[in-house]
Structures are given as C-alpha cells and as structure tokens.
Structure 1
C-alpha cells in the first residue's frame, strides 16, 4: 500500500487543472498525532506542487503517461495523494513538465521522513500490551502437556514430518530391494 494511510488526505473532486479539495482527510487539514506538524503535511505539499505544475503546463494524465514510464492511473494516484510517488516518478514528472526536479525531490524526501516518523509513532502506540482475554481451559491445551499452543503445534508438526520422512525412507529401501 502505498506508504501507509497516515496523512493521505483522501480527496474528491478535481477540476480541469487538477485542483483538489479535501474531504476531511488528515493531509490537507493537518496531521493528527505527529509532533511538530503544521497545518499541512509534506506529502500534501508535494502533491499540491505537482498539481500546480501539471495545471501550469497543461499536462493531462494521459500526456504524463505518454511522456513517462507510469500509467494514467498511477499519475492520478500520485497527484491526488492516494499513493506516494517514487523518486523516479518525481524525476520523470519534472522532465515531462520541463521543470527542475530539485524542489520536488526535496519535498519527496520530507514526505518520506514524515511518513516514517508517523509510522514509528503509530507502532509505538500499538506496542502497549493489550489485556489478554481469559481463554477456557479446553481451548488452552495444545495436546502436548507443558507446551504453549504455538510451540505445541510446532512440536506436533515436527513429529508428523519426522514420521513421514521415516516412512518414505523405508519405502525407498524396499523398492531398491534392501
């Protein structure tokens, strides 16, 4: 998936020049839960700048697809913040539009750093241990006394696998006449 769902700023409604209005997503309205975020995310800034350039140069998604190695639908996803573009995509976009890729690449790097930090913050929040629900004794047993369910299943699988290897080895010896 694209790079996470954090700050995607899902949008709807596009004009002839590719303008986009937010529908309440985090991207254009600010970032929820990230330290140091201002009113827009770096990803929203990158997408807005690419849409501005697309409009100024009168490039359609079809023309972008013809001039780059990316499809029309890929450009729609990149410019409407459904998927973070790759470095190569940004470079090809700049070449197709006849602009300097430097500012766009800088925004892309900031977007990647922001998404990584947001993902780390979300992971840290998810790392808090959740209370373990009580499991009935009948469901707790693994079939092998003293072993937890995952380890018990692993041990049972090893026993079955070992038995299968033994049977196949004996069958091969019988075929060879030993």
Structure 2
C-alpha cells in the first residue's frame, strides 16, 4: 500500500476531501500507482500529482479510476465537480494575487523613476532655456 505525503495546507477543503477519497479508492483497490496508471491510461506522474493534491485530475481520469476500482462513478463525479469549482476559485484567487503583485512591482518600478524619467530636462538639472540658474545667494 502506498504511503501518502501530507496534502498541501493551502488546499481548499473540497479539493482536500476529493484527493483523500481518491487515495482511499486506490488503497482499497490494493493497486500500486503504476498499476492504476497502466489500467487507466494516465501516467504514473499524473496520478502522483492528482493523489498528492498538486493537480486536479481530469474527469476522464476519475471515470477511468472508478471503472478500475469497481466504484460507481456518479458519486465520484459529483465530488470531482465540487472539487473542480473549488480548484477554479483557487486558481482565480491565485491569478488575482499574481496580477496584484505584478501591478505593485510595475508601480514600484515606475516610482523609482519619479515624476520625471532619467534624461529629461528637469532630472538632469538642465532647464529648457539657455539661461544659467542662479543659486540661492544670488551668485552665479
């Protein structure tokens, strides 16, 4: 029987429950991950990702696992649908977070340039007129 790694802490509870259910099916079947791979047509690496919560299994893999383990697919598909929605919400939050980070980085980069980009007349200390500027004490 395979020894499972702990599921990632950041997994949505529905995705966690679904991955745990997949693990129980594989455990009860007595099949190795390699045997599940051979019988379902999905790679061993993919099954490791599905069973460790790093990737949501596609519906086809779930149906194939149900067939291989002699499980009624209807309940497993229902759990998959709930997990898929949760996974999508999680990805959307991740995408929004990454977008916010990129915006923040862009703002920071633009802020480094200040109100006048390098090489502009004001930032180089030269004015657009040919007259020299006078110092505060009037000399110059």
Answer whether TM exceeds 0.5 for this pair.
yes
- Deviation of 1:77 (Å): 1.4
Q: Deviations over 1:11-58 (max 9, x none)?
A: xxxxx3444434x6322xxx5xxxxxxxxx211111100110111110
- Are residues 63 and 119 of structure 1, via their aligned partners in 2, closer, same or farther at CA, if it must alter by over 3 Å? closer
Task: Report the equivalent of 2:29.
Answer: 57
Distance in 1 (CA, whole Å) between partners of 2:75 and 2:3 is: 20
* Pairing 1:26–2:7 present: no
- Are residues 127 and 93 of structure 1, via their aligned partners in 2, closer, same or farther at CA, if it must alter by over 3 Å? same
- Are residues 137 and 84 of structure 1, via their aligned partners in 2, closer, same or farther at CA, if it must alter by over 3 Å? same
1:57–1:97 Cα contact (<8 Å) kept: yes
1:47–1:79 Cα contact (<8 Å) kept: yes
Task: Report the equivalent of 1:6.
Answer: none
Given candidates 89, 107, 112, the residue that maps to 2:79 is 107
Q: Which structure is larger by alpha-carbon Rg, 1 or 2? A: 2
Distance in 2 (CA, whole Å) between partners of 1:51 and 1:43 is: 12
Task: Report the equivalent of 1:93.
Answer: 65
2:67–2:73 Cα contact (<8 Å) kept: yes
Residue ranges of structure 1 left out of the alignment (5+ in a row): 1-15, 32-40, 140-178
Task: Report the equivalent of 2:91.
Answer: 119
Task: Report the equivalent of 2:119.
Answer: 138
Measured on the aligned residues, the alpha-carbon RMSD in Å equals: 2.4
Higher RCO (C-alpha under 8 Å, 6+ residues apart):
2
- TM-score normalised to the size of structure 2? 0.66
Paired residues for 1:72-91 under 5 Å: 72-91=44-63
SS in 2 for 1:21: coil
1:17–1:51 Cα contact (<8 Å) kept: no
- TM-score normalised to the size of structure 1? 0.54
Given candidates 25, 34, 39, the residue that maps to 1:67 is 39
* Number of aligned positions between the proteins: 111
Residue ranges of structure 2 left out of the alignment (5+ in a row): 121-140
1:43–1:111 Cα contact (<8 Å) kept: yes
